[in-house]
Structure formats: C-alpha cells, structure tokens
Amino acid sequence: MARRQSPSPSGDAPQDFVENIVDIDVTSEMEGSFLEYAYSVIYSRALPDARDGLKPVQRRILYMMSEMGLRPDRGHVKSARVVGEVMGKLHPHGDTAIYDAMVRMAQDFSLRLPLIDGHGNFGSLDDGPAAPRYTEARLAAAALTLTDHLDEDVVDFVPNYDNQLTQPDVLPAAFPNLLVNGATGIAVGMATNMAPHNLVEVISAARHLIAHPDATLDDLMRFVPGPDLPTGGRIVGLDGIRDAYATGRGSFKTRAKVEIEQLSARRTGLVVTELPYMVGPEKVIEKIKDAVNSKKLTGISDIVDLTDRQHGLRLVIELKNGFNPNAVLQQLYRYSPMEDSFGINNVTLVDGQPQTLGLVKLLSVYVEHRIDVVRRRTAFRLGKKKDRLHLVEGLLIAIVDIDEVIQIIRSSDEVAAARVRLMSIYDLSEIQANYILELRLRQLTKYSRIELEKEQEELRREIAELEAILGSEERLRGLVSSELGEIAEKYGTPRRTVLLESEAVSPTVAAALAAAPNGKGKAAPLALEISDDPCWAILTASGQIARTSNQEPLAESGPRAKHDVFRSVVKTSARGEIAAVTSQGRMLRLQVMDMPVLPPMSGLPNLAGGVPAKDFVTLLKNETLVAFAPLDEILAIGTTQGVVKRVQPDYPLNREDWEVIALKDKDQVVGVAPAGSEETDLVFLTREAQLLRFTAANVRAQGRTAGGMVGIKLGAGDQVLFFGAVTAADDAAVVVTIAGTNGALPGTAPGAAKVTAFAEYPAKGRATAGVRAHRFLKGEDMLLLAWAGHGPAKASSLGGVARSLPQEHGRRDGSGIPLSQAVDAVGPAMAWGDPS
C-alpha cells in the first residue's frame, strides 16, 4: 500500500519528501479484513449471548430504557425517544435496526415472554409496525428481572463505542431468557434459530440442574418436553426435538389447531384457532386460494377470517357438501402453511466464541452465570454492610463522649487537625473521623444511641447471613434456585403448544388409514369425497336431525340430550335421498349428505350432535317434522282426527316439497310408517285409551293429493295420540300407555304406566272404535303418552336410555302401575321410540 504526500503547488516535491511504497498481498489483506468483519458481525450483532439470551442491540435497548426510568409503573414514552437514546449513547448503527429489535421484544406472537410493553401498532404476523414516532413503549415487568441489581457490581461494564460511557457486558438475567424467548440471527457463515419454551418448565429444569449438577438430558427433558410456541399450535413428532436438545440441531413440524364444526344445518367447516409459529392468517388465506385456483385443493367453498381482539384467531374454512373434512385437512397440511417446519440451530456465544449447544449445556451456562451474579451481588452487599457497620461503630464511640468530641473539634484550627486529634484520642479510622466531622446537630439527640445500637445489631446479623452464603456453595445455589422459583411463580403461564409423538387422528380416520395400506409401509391418503356408504338417517324426539357414519346396529343407550330418543330411523346411504313428512301433511325431499354426521362414541351415536329440524328445513308456522320415510315405499299416514291413508310413491322428481295428504281443518299428521305389505297391522291409539288394529289391506293405496279415509271412529272430544305400523308376526311387539290428568303440569299429579303384549289386542274393522287399552284410576282421565311396536325405550332426565320398563301384567284393558315404579329415580320417561 503506497502512501504519498500531496505535491506542492509548484509541482516539485518538498525537500524532506521520502517515498515509501509497501507491497501487500491482496489475498492476505482480504482474508484479514473479512475475518475482522465476520467476527464483528458474529460478536457484536447477530448472535445472542448464552448467559442472558440477548444480542448487543437488545441488551442496549433494555439497559437504556432501565436508565431512562421507563418502568411498568410509569407512563409510556415515544419509541423514537428510546431509539435516539440508544443510538446516540450505545449503539453505533442505524435507527431502523434498533427499532426493529425493539418491536420484536414487544410482540407477544414473537416472544413467549415479551420484554417491552408496547402501546400502539407494533405490527402483526402479516403487517409491519407503525413508525417509531407513532408508537410508545416502556419496560415490561419481566424485563425488570433481567436488569435488576446492575448497580450492585453483578456484571462487568465495558466502554461504549466512543469510550465516553459504559454499558453492561451482559445482563444479570434472573430467568433463562435464551430458552424462554428463543432467538434468530444470521451472521457470517453461521446462523441461529432457537425455539421459545415455557418459563415454568425451563426454570424447573434449571432448578433441577442446580440441585443435581450431573443431571442427564433425559432428566431435564422430564421438565422440558419440548418448545412452547407463543401462538400455540401442535408439534407433531418429538424425535427432532430430542436431537436438538442433544446436539443443538434438529427440526420439528408445527401444525395449526383445527376443529371440525357444523357451521350451519347443511354446511361443515374447518375452524382454525391457532397457527404455526410466525405464520399469519393472511399468508394462509393467500396460499389456500392459490392452491384452490391451481386445482391442488378441492372441497373448499369459502374461507373467512373472523379474527378479532376479543376472541383471537378464528379462520373459518367452509367445505363443500360431500367432501371428507379429515381428507381436506390433510390436503391443507400439504399445500398450505397450516403445517410448517421449524429448524433448531442453537448457535450462541459462550465466552465470546460461537458454539452449538444442547439443552444441558445451555442450562449449565446460564446456571453458572446466575450463580456468579448472585455471588457478586452478595459480596457487594457484604462490603456495603461492613462499611456501614464501621461508621456506626465509630459514631457510637463519639456519642458516648460527645461533649469531649465537640470540644476537640471547636479547639482545632482546621478540619485536618480535628481529624487527626479524633483518630488519636478515640482510636478511630480516617473514614470514621470524617463521618463524625460531617454529623449534623440533629443527629445528637438522646434517641440516636438507641437507634444506632439497633442498627448495629441488625447489620451484624445481616453480615453473618451474607458471609454464610458466600462461605457455602450449597447455600448459594439454594438462594439462586429459590429466586428462580419466585420468578416462575410470578410470571409463569400454562403451556400453549400441544406436543404429539405422532399425528393424532380420529377413530374414523385411523380405521380408514389402517384399512387402506398402499404397500409402502405407509397408510394411503383418505378418500377426498365421501363414498355412498350405507347409514341411518335419524329424527329424534326433540327434533334433532342427523345421520350415522355407517349402518351398524343402533345401540339402545349412549350420549344424548335430556329426554331424547330415536323418533324415526330410516335405512339409506350417504349420498341418497329420503323424505320427511310434516304435521301439516307436506313431504320434503332431503339430501342425506347435507345432514350432520354423528361421530361414533364407543359404538354409540351421540344424539346431542344433530341440528334442530327448524335450522335444516323450512317449516311453516306451528309445523313440525313427524317422521322420516323412504321415497320408494308405500307409506301409511295417520292424523289426529282418525284419518288413515296409504300413499303411492309417485312423487314429483323436480320438486323439493309437495303435499302428501289433503288435511281437513284443524287436522294434523300424527304418525307415518312404511306399509308396503298388506299384511302389516296399522294401529291407532287415542287419548281416551281406545286402540284400533286393522290390516293395511283394508286401506287402498291412493295418490299424493287424496285426503285418505276414516281410520278410527272417535268419541266426542277424543283425538288420536299415536299412529304406527306393526308387523303381524312380531311376537315381541308391545303396547305402552301412560295415563295422567288433563291440564296437570308434568310431575305434579300421579300417573300410571302399562305395558301389554300387542297380540292381546284383537284386530277390528277399519272405521270402528276399537277396544279399550287402559283403564283409568282415580285422578286419571286421559293418556299422556302411547306407543305400539317392538322394544320401546324410555329416556331419563340425565339423557340415558334404558329398557327397564314395567313387566307385562294384567289384562289389556286393566289399569297401570304407579309411574314412580315404572321409571328410574332420575326422572320420568318423556319420549318413546324404536331404536332398532
């Protein structure tokens, strides 16, 4: 490298000019300069310190905010002011880098335990923050534990960039910030990417390591099973996490938290409430739309972002009918950021050198740092206490002979002479003598000696305690452990991220995967569209509509709403059609695919999972659904006024609803049953306890617009309570009646229940009054409930269903037994149905 002096104006070199040209190898110069630059980036910018988990810029921000007094109990100040103070005094770089670091420490979706309390727009996962002139900030409460006791010589201070001020080389860090909040950074030739963890879990592991310095990785992983991400979500597969804890490098998959919900009576959706770490909803929506447009994703009809501050993240993905929600979810994990990978690379600075550390080493470095901080703090406090004790002891000596002390001071020509005389007469040190000379007269009251003696006793006790801590490594480590426990209790929060050893699937999905191997050691993907599998369409007594996922025999009991049982059950298939008959004589065409699926629970359908009929179909005023029915069979219909009709299945193909019986004024459909066989018995039961049984052959099949014919002859004021069909050869068929008092509130009047074999009732001709089915006791004047068929069940007030009905007894026209004996103690039967 040549160094030349500027030539003189005349062009001649000065007489003392000596040319000195030094040849330097460019390769060596580039290597040296690059290494110097690389080290500067590694040490001064990009990588966190293993002790406090902070990069230099983060440390300088927190320290300067502490020096500015921006505590949680004081008001916020402009972020621009903080940035200016940090840049002007400590950080010789641009304001953008300082503000970016400050913003990240305030974001609760970036850090598990935010260190700055931000006021204003500090950004989101999809948008950046407002400018520093628009936002305000102060230290969060947790940040105070990182900067506490800096004035007690707990860490070394180093000069700032211009050697005019000093700054801490590292913060005291009362909790393992590096593991709790994680870190990201790109240096020259290396990078770091550390996942956040749960504060309580990390501190528990640190305390275990303090008590057991030789603890193994397995011991610590009992306390820290895996990362705890600020945004929650699910971590699938823990092998990569163990690798990262063992070697400092590893990876794991994070998934969104998704629930399959019934958005409306006909529409199912996937509701996302938690996303993978650092993935925003707008990015997810964009990727899903791109995948749908490119035909990679199918089965999605719409996606709506319902996120707000009150309820948090809520991303609703609406599905098309006929698509398997679990299969669509698998596609979303594959083609959208709803599943993401996080690579752990624990590169951090240890004694100024970058190292890749596992969990044991990371906690060990922190624990050693914290023990050193507490030791230095204890030694500092011990020195302060000893200095104060020295002054108190000197003052006590002076107060005993205060008149003489005053006389010595007054008779001295100058302060130095007084100091010397006090030191020689009372054997005081120079410090004690100076302190006595600086005393104020108000300190010489008669109470001063008592107060000083108390202070002397307290100081001696505190000094003994501090010396005991410094003299015992066990007590020192115990103090560090107890302080960590206090931090965990004060700032700890429950775990947000769910850890899964493997992908969690529902029983239905697991069965499908197990039944469809692809021959490569992995389960084949789920079928995207729902197949046309056999199933049951169910209408319950409370008006719930649903279908099952298969056509397994329906169980007699299972989870259900209170007092709810099967009212109408039809065999069909997932992509089939059925009919629903209403109380006003209308028939509605229903797509089975649109019905919500009842997930099997130990083989039992959960009736509480259906949707109300009024939300699924459009009903008229005071109209209800009476029953489901197949569209290809002859049906028998009975009304409250005793009309019966067998209707031919010649329904219109281009309509969704039509009239299936022409009703008279104030008449309503009370029952519907398949009656294709003319050997089937049709049964009417009235409120006056009249039962009429006749064969379907007595009722000719009619068109859908006909009004039917007389089925049972009713007495004055009587009306039909039940209509149904019973197979004549069914020996297990029974008739169930429950009698009560007209107008009485349920449960306020005694009643009677009766079960009789159906075969005991003789068949009669159509349009007759039938026979007596129940003899009323005193206080009874009508039937409350009536039912005829195979195997009825009762529903209790707790939602259970059982067959513990009263045994058949007496004659068919006899009275019943008390209702309290007919049902269990949890409540009376309120609805009847055939679960078979």
SS (H, E, C) 450-493: HHHHHHHHHHHHHHHHHHHHHHCHHHHHHHHHHHHHHHHHHHCC
Greater confidence (536 vs 609) lies with 536
Mean pLDDT over 550-575 rounds to 71
pLDDT value, residue 804: 42
Q: Single out the residue of 642, 809, 637 nearest to residue 736, CA to CA.
A: 809
Largest Cα separation within the chain, whole Å, is 145
DSSP-H helix ranges across 22-111: 26-41, 56-67, 79-89, 95-104
By CB atoms closer than 10 A (0-12, 13-18, 19+), residue 657 is: middle
CA 364 distance to own-chain centroid = 32
Greater confidence (633 vs 31) lies with 633
Query: What is the radius of gyration, based on Cα positions, of the chain?
Result: 43
113-133 per-position pLDDT tens digit: 999 999 999 999 989 999 999
Q: Single out the residue of 172, 244, 227, 196 nearest to residue 484, CA to CA.
A: 172
Average pLDDT over all residues of the chain: 84
162-212 per-position pLDDT tens digit: 999 999 999 999 999 999 999 998 877 788 999 999 999 999 999 999 999
Task: State the Cα–Cα distance between residues 699 and 694, nearest whole angstrom.
Answer: 9
- Confidence category of residue 754, pLDDT binned at 50, 70, 90: confident
Mean pLDDT over 542-560 rounds to 71
**Do residues 767 and 708 touch, judged by C-beta distance below 8 A?**
no
Residue 793 reports pLDDT greater than 60: no
241's tokens: 């996490």
pLDDT value, residue 424: 87
Q: Which of 25-39, 243-257, 593-607 has the lowest mean pLDDT?
A: 593-607
Q: Containing H/E element for 396?
A: helix 359-400
Residue 52 reports pLDDT greater than 60: yes
Task: State the Cα–Cα distance between residues 444 and 204, nearest whole angstrom.
Answer: 52
pLDDT value, residue 548: 82
299-310 per-position pLDDT tens digit: 899 999 998 888
176's tokens: 């393992």
Q: Containing H/E element for 740?
A: strand 733-740
Mean pLDDT over 746-753 rounds to 70
Residue 829 reports pLDDT greater than 80: no
SS (H, E, C) 151-196: HHCCCCEEECCCCCCEEECCCCCCCCHHHHHCEEEECCCCEEEECC
Q: Single out the residue of 407, 425, 409 nearest to residue 417, CA to CA.
A: 409
**Do residues 24 and 1 touch, judged by C-beta distance below 8 A?**
yes
Task: State the Cα–Cα distance between residues 297 and 315, nearest whole angstrom.
Answer: 17
Q: Which of 59-73, 404-418, 812-826 has the lowest mean pLDDT?
A: 812-826
Task: State the Cα–Cα distance between residues 807 and 234, nearest whole angstrom.
Answer: 54
Concatenating the DSSP letter of every residue in 781-828 gives -EEEEEEEEE--EEE-TTS-EE--PPPP-S-TTS--EEHHHHS-TT--
Is-same-fold flag (257-337+497-527; 374-478)?
A: no
Percent of the chain with pLDDT over 70: 84
Residue 248 reports pLDDT greater than 90: yes
pLDDT value, residue 40: 65
752-787 exposure pattern, b = at least 16 Cβ within 10 A, e = fewer? bbbbbebeebeeeebeebbbbbbbbeeebbbbbbbb
CATH, domain range 257-337+497-527: 3.30.1360.40
Residue 605 reports pLDDT greater than 60: no
pLDDT value, residue 826: 28
Which residues are CB-neighbours of 113 under 8 A, at least 6 positions away? 142, 175, 177, 180, 181, 199, 491
- Confidence category of residue 810, pLDDT binned at 50, 70, 90: very low
**Do residues 68 and 25 touch, judged by C-beta distance below 8 A?**
no
- Residues making up the chain, counted from first to last: 836
Is residue 385 helix, strand or coil? helix
Greater confidence (609 vs 647) lies with 647
pLDDT value, residue 803: 44
Q: Single out the residue of 632, 628, 657 nearest to residue 547, CA to CA.
A: 628
134 counts as catalytic: yes
Question: Torsion angle, CA of 547/548/549/551, rounded to 10 degrees?
Answer: -120
Domain residue spans of the chain? 48-173, 257-337+497-527, 374-478, 534-833
Q: Single out the residue of 708, 701, 704 nearest to residue 680, CA to CA.
A: 701
Cα angle value 82/88/91 (rounded, 5°):
85
Is residue 829 helix, strand or coil? coil
**Do residues 252 and 237 touch, judged by C-beta distance below 8 A?**
yes
The alpha carbon dihedral of 256, 257, 258, 263 has a sign of: negative
pLDDT value, residue 168: 95
By CB atoms closer than 10 A (0-12, 13-18, 19+), residue 34 is: exposed
Q: What DSSP state is assigned to residue 622?
A: T
345-386 per-position pLDDT tens digit: 999 999 888 899 999 999 999 999 999 999 999 999 999 999
- Confidence category of residue 792, pLDDT binned at 50, 70, 90: low
pLDDT value, residue 796: 45
DSSP-H helix ranges across 43-94: 56-67, 79-89
Greater confidence (363 vs 324) lies with 363
Look up the pTM and report it: 0.75
Instruction: Give me the residue label for tokens 């159509």.
Output: 766
CATH, domain range 48-173: 3.90.199.10
Residue 574 reports pLDDT greater than 50: yes
pLDDT value, residue 86: 95
Mean pLDDT over 737-750 rounds to 75
Q: Which of 43, 134, 335, 435 is catalytic?
A: 134
Label residue 312 left, alpha or beta by phi (over 0 means left) and psi (-120 to 50 means alpha).
left
Q: Amino acid identity, residue 725?
A: A
**Do residues 338 and 284 touch, judged by C-beta distance below 8 A?**
yes
Is residue 394 helix, strand or coil? helix
pLDDT value, residue 218: 94
Multiple choice CATH, 374-478, 3.50.30.30, 3.40.640.10, 1.10.268.10, 3.40.50.1390: 1.10.268.10
pLDDT value, residue 483: 96
**Do residues 735 and 691 touch, judged by C-beta distance below 8 A?**
yes
Greater confidence (1 vs 598) lies with 598
**C-alpha distances in angstroms, 507 versus 48, 236, 590?**
45, 18, 28
Instruction: Give me the residue label for tokens 């389960």.
Output: 523
pLDDT value, residue 1: 41
Mean pLDDT over 10-34 rounds to 76
**C-alpha distances in angstroms, 359 versus 293, 352, 363, 525, 655?**
44, 19, 6, 37, 68
- Confidence category of residue 274, pLDDT binned at 50, 70, 90: very high
484's tokens: 């960590």
Concatenating the DSSP letter of every residue in 357-380 gives --HHHHHHHHHHHHHHHHHHHHHH
511-521 per-position pLDDT tens digit: 444 444 443 43
**C-alpha distances in angstroms, 63 versus 15, 42, 112?**
56, 21, 20
**Do residues 476 and 373 touch, judged by C-beta distance below 8 A?**
no
145-160 per-position pLDDT tens digit: 999 999 999 999 999 9
CATH class of residue range 534-833: mainly beta
Q: DSSP 3-state helix, strand, coil percentages of the chain (rounded to 5)?
A: 30, 25, 45
pLDDT value, residue 485: 95
Q: What are phi and psi of 730, to 5 degrees?
A: -85, 100
